[in-house]
């Protein structure tokens, strides 16, 4: 008795499958639809609620400042929303977990439909009850033919056939493109790859911005990294139209990996340079940079060697000075070296005359520019000048014309040894037409450096190596891109097979009175067309109900 009682209990225990409820949930189409809908809702939240800008992500101070800025809109909900990740929906762990769960959901859901489909494709049901020939959704009746004739016609129509005889009738099962029923799995795998690609991109995607000058190198990763790459800008080129509109920006790059040169090429705005899965996009071009090196005269050692952008501007007047006869003595931009409370200007040595005048810019109450001039050796009557832009005036017998105000590229605080923290560097047109660099420090004479001309001032030798353009390069790596491309190809292939290469199964009964054909209402129009084709191939009349509509 005991054994009789225990056996079913043991059997019941062994049949307990703790994974089954999970499986039921994962394989439920309703659950999948509900879950995808929920994810879409989360996605909508990520679109509708302002999200922390990408550049601020990872910087807690910047992020906190940004979140504080949202209090006006969300009030007391701001902090709870931040802690729930609603300001970083697409980066929130719960969102990534949900995406991962969707991958598992679709995977289990798809694979658990494999066996029935596989059997249906490779071990199809070849026999149907006779009533099917009378009531099938798709059916046709043709004149009687011999089985070999029918089989030959079907084979020409790329059907595979199985023939059996029973109860005085011949039964033929014909199947065409059975494998196409597996295409649905290709489409489902594509969906899995799509989601996986998104996850991989989110988890491992990389993006960094580099802004570096011609001839200099910048790392892609911060400090040391096993995948470290260094980008050297060999040449940054900007082409502009006559009106100043940009035509083309391109940068010649050399890539180093772990100290070895691994690639070299050109990146443009529309055609990024690619290496090792990284794409180097040209995103910016800045022409006004300068390379300055400074050596200690005593040792000969370099103590400063920088290529820096001059991202600020200084207002400077372009003037023309003529003598009493009208001969032009000077036509140039005057870079300011003296920054006084009333005006900013510089002493100007006038060629061929040996004279020196101070010329500078000031503004009026209505914020318009005025040129002021002063001749240190002039008299009170004509030794001073104050004229508006575009006007001319006399200064100690000279005619000074204030052509216009120009902007000189400049930078403050280069950290040059021995200079004050507010030292100003200005890139100015040199006397020979080439650029020159002017270093202006408080209470020190300005240093004007012509290109490639070492100049010793005090304990240092300054060399302006030349103007250097800067390139802005965005380095990106999207590890999920492969997944997306493969998934796209699979999805298109799967859909094309499903819609354009449909499976067709025919069950046929041959008797002396005629040929009865039945088919399922599969997603494949064209049953009548197939029947007409079959009738023609067997040289039997096409019944009126199968006649093509005209």
Site size for other proteins (CB under 8 A)? 84
In order of 11, 202, 500, the CA distances from 2 in angstroms are 14, 60, 63
Q: How many residues does the chain have?
A: 550
Min CB(511)–other proteins separation in Å: 19
Q: Compose the 28-57 pattern: x for residues touching other proteins by CB under 8 A, - for all others.
A: ------------------------------
Mention every residue, 6+ apart, whose C-beta is less than 8 A from residue 439.
Answer: 416, 419, 423, 424, 425, 446, 447, 449, 462
Near other proteins by CB under 8 A: residue from 3, 241, 301, 379:
301
For other proteins, the binding residues in 396-415 under the rule CB under 8 A are 415
Site for other proteins in 163-222 (CB under 8 A): 181, 184-185, 189, 192-193, 196, 200, 204, 216-219, 222
Measured over all CA atoms, what is the biggest interatomic distance in the chain, rounded to whole angstroms?
Answer: 136
Report the C-alpha gap between 347 and 338 in whole angstroms. Answer: 9
Closest CB to other proteins among residues 75, 226: 226
CB of 452: closest distance to other proteins in angstroms? Answer: 16
Q: Is 300 in the site for other proteins (CB under 8 A)?
A: yes
Nearer to other proteins by Cβ, of 128 and 538: the residue is 128
Site string for other proteins, 334-353 (x = CB under 8 A): --------------------
Nearest approach, Cβ of residue 177 and other proteins (Å): 15
Least gap, CB of 494 to other proteins (angstroms) = 12
Output b/e per residue, 348-366; b: 16+ Cβ within 10 A: beeeeeebebbbbbeeeee
The structure tokens listed for 195 are 């989601």
> What b-and-e string marks burial along 433-465, b requiring 16 or more CB atoms within 10 Å of the CB?
eebbbbbbbeeeebbbbbbeeeeeeeebbbbbb
Per residue, the 3-state secondary structure of 362-391, as one string, reads EECCCCCEEEEEECCCCCCCCCEEEEECCC
Residue 380 exposed, middle or buried by CB count within 10 Å (0-12, 13-18, 19+)? exposed
- Segment interacting with other proteins, rule: CB under 8 A, options 78-86, 87-95, 335-343, 520-528: 520-528
Least distance CB 275 / other proteins (angstroms): 6
**Contact characters 61-100, other proteins, x per CB under 8 A:** ----------------------------------------
Pick the stretch among 85-93, 319-327, 479-487, 532-540 that binds other proteins (CB under 8 A).
479-487
Complex with other proteins: residue 468 or 505, whichever CB lies closer: 505
Q: Which stretch binds other proteins (CB under 8 A): 103-111, 150-158, 362-370, 489-497?
A: 103-111
Q: Is 172 helix (H, G, I), strand (E, B) or coil?
A: strand
Q: Which stretch binds other proteins (CB under 8 A): 254-262, 323-331, 394-402, 508-516?
A: 254-262
Give, as ranges, the residues between 484 and 503 that touch other proteins (CB under 8 A): 486
Classify residue 68 by burial, with Cβ atoms within 10 Å: 0-12, 13-18, 19+.
exposed
Among residues 367 and 523, whose Cβ is nearest to other proteins?
Answer: 523
The rounded distance, in Å, linking the Cα atoms of 430 and 451 is 9
C-alpha angle 312-318-324 in degrees, rounded to nearest 5: 160
DSSP-derived pairing of the beta strands 355-363 and 344-350:
antiparallel
- How many angstroms separate the CA atoms of 295 and 414, rounded? 15
Q: Which of 62, 81, 96, 108 binds other proteins (CB under 8 A)?
A: 108
Q: Which of 277, 413, 431, 526 binds other proteins (CB under 8 A)?
A: 277
Q: What is the chain's alpha carbon radius of gyration, rounded to the nearest angstrom? A: 41
Of the listed pieces 157-165, 276-284, 372-380, 421-429, which binds other proteins according to CB under 8 A? 276-284
d(Cα 63, Cα 78) in Å, to the nearest integer? Answer: 13
If the CB atoms of residues 336 and 480 are measured against other proteins, the closer one turns out to be: 480
Minimum gap (Å) between residue 401 Cβ and other proteins:
43
Among 256, 358, 402, 527, the residue binding other proteins under the rule CB under 8 A is 256
3-state helix, strand, coil in the chain (%, to 5): 30, 40, 30
First to last CA, the chain: 79
- DSSP state letter for 496: H
**In the complex, what is the shortest distance from the CB of residue 524 to other proteins, in angstroms, rounded to a whole number?**
11
**110 to 149, contacts with other proteins by CB under 8 A?**
110-113, 115-117, 119-120, 124-125, 128-129, 131-132, 135-136
Task: Pick out residues in 14-33 that bind other proteins (CB under 8 A).
Answer: 15, 17-20, 22-23, 26-27
Q: Based on CB atoms, which residue is closest to other proteins, 21 or 244? A: 21
**Identified binder of other proteins from the candidate list 322, 333, 394, 520, rule CB under 8 A:** 520
CA distances from 92 to 61, 96, 203, 503 (A): 18, 6, 11, 44
* Distance of closest approach, residue 333 Cβ to other proteins, in angstroms: 30
Q: Which is nearer to other proteins, 148 or 300 (CB)?
A: 300
């Amino acid at each position: 008795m005991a054994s009789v009682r225990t056996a079913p209990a043991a059997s019941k225990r062994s049949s307990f499958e703790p994974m089954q409820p999970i499986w039921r949930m994962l394989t439920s189409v309703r659950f999948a639809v509900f879950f995808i809908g929920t994810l879409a809702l989360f996605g909508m939240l990520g679109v509708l609620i302002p999200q922390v800008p990408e550049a601020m992500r990872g910087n807690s101070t910047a992020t906190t400042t940004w979140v504080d800025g949202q209090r006006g809109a969300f009030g007391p909900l701001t902090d709870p929303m931040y802690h729930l990740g609603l300001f970083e929906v697409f980066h929130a762990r719960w969102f990534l977990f949900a995406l991962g769960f969707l991958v598992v959901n679709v995977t289990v859901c798809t694979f658990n439909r494999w066996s029935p489909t596989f059997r249906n494709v490779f071990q199809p049901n070849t026999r149907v009850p006779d009533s099917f020939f009378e009531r099938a959704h798709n059916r046709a009746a043709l004149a009687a033919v011999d089985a070999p004739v029918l089989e030959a016609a079907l084979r020409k129509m790329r059907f595979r056939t199985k023939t059996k005889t029973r109860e005085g009738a011949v039964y033929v099962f014909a199947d065409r493109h059975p494998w196409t029923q597996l295409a649905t799995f290709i489409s489902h795998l594509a969906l899995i790859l799509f989601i996986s690609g998104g996850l991989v991109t989110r988890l491992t995607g990389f993006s960094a911005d580099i802004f570096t000058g011609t001839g200099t190198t910048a790392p892609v990763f911060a400090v040391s990294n096993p995948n470290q790459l260094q980008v050297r800008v060999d040449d940054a080129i900007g082409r502009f139209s006559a009106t100043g509109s940009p035509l083309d920006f391109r940068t010649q790059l050399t890539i180093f990996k772990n100290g070895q040169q691994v690639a070299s090429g050109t990146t443009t705005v529309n055609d990024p340079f690619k290496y090792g899965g990284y794409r180097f996009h040209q995103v910016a071009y800045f022409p006004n940079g300068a390379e300055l090196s400074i050596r200690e005269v005593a040792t000969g050692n370099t103590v400063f060697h920088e290529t820096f952008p001059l991202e600020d501007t200084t207002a400077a007047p372009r003037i023309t000075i003529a003598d009493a006869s009208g001969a032009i003595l000077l036509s140039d931009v005057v870079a300011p070296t003296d920054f006084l409370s009333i005006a900013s200007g510089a002493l100007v040595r006038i060629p061929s005359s040996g004279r020196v005048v101070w010329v500078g810019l000031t503004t009026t109450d209505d914020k318009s520019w005025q040129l002021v001039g002063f001749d240190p050796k002039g008299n009170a009557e004509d030794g001073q000048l104050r004229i508006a832009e575009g006007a001319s005036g006399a200064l100690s017998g000279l005619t000074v014309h204030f052509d216009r105000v120009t902007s000189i590229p400049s930078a403050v605080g280069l950290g040059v040894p021995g200079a004050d923290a507010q030292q100003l560097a200005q890139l100015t047109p040199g006397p020979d037409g080439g650029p020159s660099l002017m270093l202006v420090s408080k209470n020190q004479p300005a240093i004007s450096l012509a290109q490639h001309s070492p100049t010793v001032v005090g304990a240092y030798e300054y060399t302006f190596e030349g103007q250097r353009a800067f390139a802005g390069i965005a380095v990106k790596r999207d590890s999920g891109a492969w997944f997306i491309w493969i998934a796209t190809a699979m999805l298109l292939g799967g859909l094309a097979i499903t819609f354009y290469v449909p499976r067709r199964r025919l069950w046929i009964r041959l008797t002396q009175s005629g040929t009865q054909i039945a088919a399922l209402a599969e997603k494949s129009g064209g049953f009548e067309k197939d029947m007409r084709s079959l009738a023609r191939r067997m040289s039997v009349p096409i019944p009126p109900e199968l006649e093509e509509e005209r």
